[in-house]
Structure 1
Amino acid sequence: MRTLVTASWVIAHDGRTHVELPDGGVLIDGDTVLDVGDRAALARTPVDRHVELGEAVLTPGLIDLDALTDIDHLILDSWAPPERADGYVWSEAYFDRPRAVFDAAQRRTVRTYALTQLALHGITSYMPIASEVHSDWAETHEDLVAMAEVSRSLGLRGFLGPSFRSGVNVIGADGEPTVKYDEEAGRRGLAEALRFLDHTEKLADPLVTGVLLPCRIETLTPELLRDIARAAERRGALVRLHALQGNAERAYVRRTHGMTPLQLLAETGLLSDRLIVPHGVVLDVHPDVLGTDTGDTAVLAEAGVSVVHCPLTNARYAHHLHTFGAYRERGVNLCLGTDSFPPDLIRGIDTGVQVAKLQAGDLGQGHLAGYFEALWTGGPAPPRPRPDRPRRRRRPHGLRARRLPHGRDRGPAAHPGPQRHRARRGPHHGRRPGRHARRADPRRRPRRAAARRAGAVRPDARGLPGAGPPPAAGGGTLPACLPARLTDRG
């Protein structure tokens, strides 16, 4: 069935940047987006159904690469003064006798609620994070199998894997923070994560991609970090690791391993374009470290690491990126995450814009267009195919990319349902611009340090959103106007 969805505004992509289309529309045939453009032009195509959204903004689905799918401990521990902060961490005694607060059925209920909240907030693609505070260690393979079932039923696209760790932050008997380890539990966790990768391959569903999601860098031994790097290379998997996010983390890693967290990432083989790092805050440029650029951001940019910026969470913990604009100028690949409840990326963007103005002391330095670039076209580079498996062709479920008729290159395919399009209703303010699309940002994108981001970024063959404009079938370039699976390479 061919459907035309129209609205007073449509956010699209012209192959270089996002544009605002007044009186725009999206033409859909079955499960494929055929065209995005002017309402009047698209209306000349015969359709079976016309959905008029009226005074609304129709956008691509939102992409959250640090999406909380668990209990949000931030609600409790982002208010505590220093003298009370230790009360929100495991004690050494509890480490010896931990217990799971929720059983498997209750954990499924928690995740079902959280995933429903993602959909309600317009998030269609996500990478989950867990709060292990209430667990007896971390997530299990069975937890993620259940999450994948719920996620698929909601039509969300998940990049999933169980969390795992070899240590836990605790308060020692002397009252000082430290990390206690169970290295065998860490090895079991990695084995469970690899088992889940096997599960996602058997599913062969483009809505579920297996990734490796270890916990925080200070809770993983160097040996386990090396094992993760080798497994990611062997399996062609992306890795997301919380690192570079706090002063306590940096102090502990330097004290324990004799190097900074960034150096530990490099030493263990994880520093590559497979790596996704929330939050990437504590680097040399941060005032709490050196307050000057000695090359840390250049290391991230040259390696192709993606930093997940979570502006609302940073604000709640009063610990900001220094700065969003500077990271972009230095070529760091930025994408966005919520990392807390509610999973409201639009609120997060607004918070980030206001913080950027404060940091710069300049109302013109909010980088609003840059935030929306990070939202939709940020993200990691495509993972390379598994070296131990021959390539195989697999038709993606419900999402396709193709060269469009009439010689026009439009965006990749996306499902027409509510999980694929986000509509924001509201009155117009001021006069409507002319019939031609207005650029969301007239300035050129900052040049990326890595050549792959200099206008020739390849999409993630396994469906990761936000890798930039893909090559069109038959030549040309398909702009990334809708976040969707871009190829069918297995």
Structure 2
Amino acid sequence: MSSTTWIRNASWVVGWDAARDRHVYMRDADVVFRDGVLVHVGRGYAGSADVIVEGKDRLILPGFVNIHSHPTSEPLLRGLTEETKSRKLGMSTLYEYTVLVGRSNYTTTLAESQAARDNPQIYQDDDARMAAGQIAMWEMLKSGVTTFVDYSPNRAGWIDEALATGMRVCLAPSFRSGYWYTRNGHEVLYAFDEAAGRRAFDEALALLDQVARHPSDRLFGMVAPGQIDTCTADLLQDARDASRERGLPMTLHAAQSVVEFREMVRRHGKTPIEWLESLGLLAPNFIIGHAIFIDEHSWIAWPEKRDLGRNADSGSHVAHCPHNFVRGGVVLQDFGRYRAAGINIGLGTDTYPHNFVDEMRWAAILGKVAARDAHATKVEDVFHAGTVGGARALQRDDIGRLAPGCKADVVVVDCNHPMMQPLRDPLRSFIFSALERPITDVYVGGRQVVRGGEVLTIDVTRAGAILTAGQQRALERVPDKDWAGRTADEAFPLALETV
């Protein structure tokens, strides 16, 4: 049955000015949606409604668009990798630490992952991974995310799991030709099994075709090879062709570490971005995961400065996830510079916590730090990236903004929350001070999934208990997987000595 919801006389609304292609404040405005679609944003709604929500002392925002997340792995690393980085491997956790707990060493096919559950080298804990995903999605909903990219290895029951959250989910089943490892903590090696990578690629395409046929408008897909240094050229080019044939966006981790940059130069004599260009991957449907270590980054001594131009000229997008990298002292150099070059940037919660508002704050602050200019990156810039920027990267013009005809993905913020006071500029108060705390209600396609600050679709207490037990099981296996045979306490020491 048709149903209309009217958020009446909201004190503040972040609406969309199409003529100027930007968000704007509206005062004392109405937001109305019917059957999952916005029908009115602004003053003077004269129609009727089945549900009326009083908007006094409320800030109404578009739902946030998270274009890069790994929900089934990252929460397992909480309390382990915040300050544990490989000093001899570019201050990254990728090659030495994340493989010990949060991720399997090899992206296997579904059948292979089931057969390998007891192999400590590719140990899978399905219960813990599902609980991790629940925790991550709960954090996203609490922070106003209504659309997110689930960039994960293929798993059974994924579609049903995504639908149950009530969120708008882009399924991005990952695959790769091989994996990295280290035998000594200072050298990264690669092992390739191209046949296994092909099988995982075929399974990913089968899932994406299933998603395309699914009747729910809250599901869509993305072609998502794993990392630039773990995929062969022909696999990446076939993935490129598959994405374009299906009209889907495509993403890939690239320019994400010093190790990777040096490896691509060793193999091809090209920067990662330059090699992607040579393969024909850079295009308006392509999202580069991170794109930090380009030819002009201060950690890279490279004689040419062309990567920003390659990215901008191709229309490719960047998924910026500042929080994960700054914990290792790594920053994008810099957000404002990329934007000024003409590059569209979206935001992602690459790691825990999956707090999207906090990610916007990190993006704003680190953009200023990297540029040494307080005006280089502003709240308007990061808010745009977290909404419209992400939507454009996903090839969507119906999310990330409050405008008639768009999806009714709506976030309600309590302006009376103490962290929002005094309320002169609501977005600045929200992003720099309050973060997710004053969010009271979230709607996805007109359906309420957060009410009074409580997520309605996820049992977070149960998920937390399962995740805790799963992390403990994983920690017991650390000596079997670590190159140095360290215990969990040796590999991941506590912040303080226990006496």
Q: 1:176 & 1:291 partners in 2: Cα distance?
A: 21
**Inter-partner Cα distance in structure 2 for 1:74 and 1:288:** 27
Structure 1 residue aligned with 2:404: 411
Matched AA of 2:32 = L
Do structure 1's residue 422 and structure 2's residue 411 form an aligned pair? yes
What amino acid is the match of 1:421? Answer: V
Aligned residue identity for 2:12 = W
Shift of 1:28: 2.1
Equivalent residue, structure 1, for 2:481: none
**TM-score in terms of structure 1 length:** 0.73
| Corresponding residue to 1:233 among 229, 244, 249 | 244
Equivalent residues of 2:88, 2:186 under 8 A apart: no
List gaps (5 residues or longer) in structure 1. 131-138, 385-398, 401-408, 441-481, 486-490
Q: 2:51 matched to which residue of 1?
A: 49
Whole-Å separation in 1 of the counterparts to 2:394 and 2:406 = 21
Q: Does 1:88 align with 2:97?
A: yes
Contact 2:66 2:149 in 1 (8 A): yes
Matched, 1:183 2:194: yes
Read off the aligned partner of 2:6 and give its amino acid letter: L
Greater Cα offset, 324-333 or 154-163: 154-163
Which residue number corresponds to residue 122 of structure 1? 144
Number of the residue aligned with 1:79: 83
1:62 and 1:383 map into 2 onto residues whose CA distance is 13
- The structural deviation recorded for 1:267 is 2.3
Normalising by the residue count of structure 2, what TM-score does the alignment of the two structures yield? Answer: 0.72
Aligned to 2:318, which of 283, 286, 307? 307
In 1: Cα distance, 2:350 partner to 2:23 partner: 25
Bigger Cα displacement from structure 2, 77-86 vs 323-332 = 77-86
Sort the Cα spacing of 1:164 and 1:113 in 2 relative to 1 into closer, same or farther, 3 A. same
Asked whether the equivalents of residues 60 and 483 of structure 1 are also in contact (C-alpha less than 8 Å), the reply is: no
Distance 2:284 2:307 in 1: 16
Work out whether residues 27 and 35 of structure 1, in 8 Å CA contact, stay in contact via their aligned partners in 2.
yes
243-252 or 120-129, which deviates more: 120-129
1:282 to 287, 293, 300: 293
- Please give the secondary structure, in 2, of the residue aligned with 1:278: strand
2:7 corresponds in structure 1 to 5
Counterpart among 24, 27, 32 of residue 27 in structure 1: 32
Query: Hey, what's the Cα distance between the residues in 1 that align with 2:170 and 2:60?
Result: 24
Q: Aligned in 2, Cα 1:298/1:358: closer, same or farther, shift over 3 Å?
A: same
Instruction: Identify if the C-alpha distance between structure 1 residues 59 and 250 changes in structure 2 by more than 3 Å, giving closer, same or farther.
Output: same
The question of whether the paired residues in 1 share the 8 Å contact of 2:288 and 2:317 is answered with yes
| Residues 352 and 271 (structure 1), Cα distance of their counterparts in 2 relative to 1, 3 Å cut | same
Paired amino acid for 2:17:
D
Shift in alpha-carbon separation, 1:359–1:101, aligned structure 2, 3 A? same
Q: Deviations over 1:106-150 (max 9, x none)?
A: 5333323332332222111111133xxxxxxxx23xx1x522212
Tell me which amino acid in the other structure corresponds to 2:414. R
* Cα drift, residue 281 of structure 1: 0.8
Q: In the alignment, is residue 196 of structure 1 matched against residue 207 of structure 2?
A: yes
Is the Cα–Cα contact under 8 Å of residues 36 and 407 in structure 2 kept in the other structure? yes
> Are 2:268 and 1:257 aligned?
yes
**Paired residue for 2:132, among 95, 105, 110?**
110
Q: Equivalent residue of 1:259, what SS?
A: coil
Q: For the residues of structure 2 that align with 1:74 and 1:113, how far apart are their CA atoms? A: 11
2:475 aligns with: none
Give the alignment of 1:155-234 within 5 angstroms. Answer: 155-172=166-183, 176-234=187-245
**What's the secondary structure of 2:331's corresponding residue?**
coil
Change beyond 3 A, Cα 1:356–1:112: closer
Listed as ranges, the gaps of 5+ residues in structure 2 are: 107-115, 429-442, 447-499
Q: How big is each residue's C-alpha offset from its partner over 1:7-41, in whole Å with a ceiling of 9 and x where there is no partner?
A: 32111111121011122220123333210112xx2
Give the Cα separation in 2 of the matches to 1:347 and 1:255.
37
Over the matched positions of the two proteins, sequence identity in percent amounts to: 26
Secondary structure, counterpart of 1:251 in structure 2: helix
In 1, Cα distance between equivalents of 2:141 and 2:176: 29
Aligned residue for 2:157, secondary structure, equals helix
Structure 2 counterpart of 1:448: none
Aligned residues: 398
Q: Offset of 1:359 from its aligned partner? A: 2.8
